C-alpha cells in the first residue's frame, strides 16, 4: 500500500512541511511513503481553453508536469494533502495545480481517470485561532478529491500554527489523526 503526502505550501521547510513529515513518519510502518512539495513543480496557470473537455488531456506545453503529479496520485492508495491558509484558502500554487487537473475531473466527458478506491485526507493549518478558516481549506481539498472520485476519509484542522516550532506542541494531535488513516 502506498501513501502520497503533499506539502501544498510553497515553503519546503516550514510548519506545513513539518506536519507532512510527522504524518510520513507515522504512516511509514504501514505504507510506502511518497512525499512531494507542490512548489517542486513548475507549471503555468490553466488558460480555461476547455480543450480537455473534448480530449481528456491538456494541450498546454507543460502538461507533462501535471501528468507526472497525477501519476503519483494514480500510484497511491491514500492521499494526504497538507495545506496552510493563504488569505483564508489553499495556497495559489496548489489551487493552480487543481485547476490544471480539469482533464481528470468528472465534470465532463470524456475525462481522464485515476484508479478507483483511493482515500483522501485533508489537513489544514492556520496562524490564527479560528477553526472555520481551516474548514474552508479542507472544503477546497475535499471538493477536489470529490471530482477525482477519491473518497473523503478524514480531516484535521490545526489553528495557532505559524512557525515550525508551533507544530511540536501539537504533535500528539497529529499522531492521533494518523491512527485513523
Question: Which residue is listed with cell 492508495?
Answer: 77
By three-state DSSP, how is residue 83 classified? Answer: strand
User: Does the reported pTM lie above 0.85?
Assistant: yes
Domains along the chain with CATH numbers: 2-178 (3.40.50.360)
CB under 8 Å to 90, separation ≥6 — which residues? 8, 83, 98, 137, 140, 141
How does pLDDT run across 66-107, given as a tens digit for each residue?
999 999 999 999 999 999 999 999 999 999 999 999 999 999
How does pLDDT run across 8-48, given as a tens digit for each residue?
999 999 999 999 999 999 999 999 999 999 999 999 999 99
The crossing angle, in degrees rounded to 10, of helices 92-100 and 131-147 is 20
Amino acid at each position: 500500500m502506498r501513501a502520497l503526502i503533499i506539502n501544498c505550501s510553497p515553503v519546503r521547510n516550514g510548519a506545513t512541511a513539518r506536519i507532512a513529515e510527522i504524518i510520513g513518519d507515522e504512516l511509514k510502518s504501514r505504507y510506502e511513503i511518497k512525499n512531494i512539495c507542490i512548489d517542486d513543480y513548475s507549471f503555468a496557470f490553466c488558460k480555461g481553453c476547455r480543450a480537455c473537455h473534448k480530449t481528456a488531456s491538456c494541450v498546454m506545453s507543460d502538461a507533462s508536469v501535471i501528468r507526472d503529479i497525477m501519476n503519483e496520485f494514480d500510484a497511491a492508495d491514500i492521499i494526504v494533502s497538507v495545506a496552510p491558509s493563504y488569505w483564508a484558502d489553499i495556497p495559489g500554487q496548489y489551487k493552480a495545480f487543481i485547476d490544471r487537473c480539469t482533464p481528470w475531473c468528472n465534470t465532463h466527458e470524456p475525462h481522464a481517470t485515476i484508479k478507483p478506491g483511493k482515500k483522501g485526507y485533508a489537513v489544514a493549518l492556520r496562524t490564527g485561532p479560528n477553526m472555520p478558516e481551516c474548514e474552508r481549506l479542507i472544503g477546497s481539498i475535499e471538493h477536489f478529491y470529490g471530482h477525482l472520485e477519491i473518497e473523503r476519509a478524514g480531516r484535521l484542522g490545526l489553528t495557532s500554527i505559524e512557525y515550525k516550532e508551533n507544530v511540536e506542541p501539537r504533535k500528539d494531535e497529529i499522531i492521533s489523526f494518523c491512527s485513523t488513516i
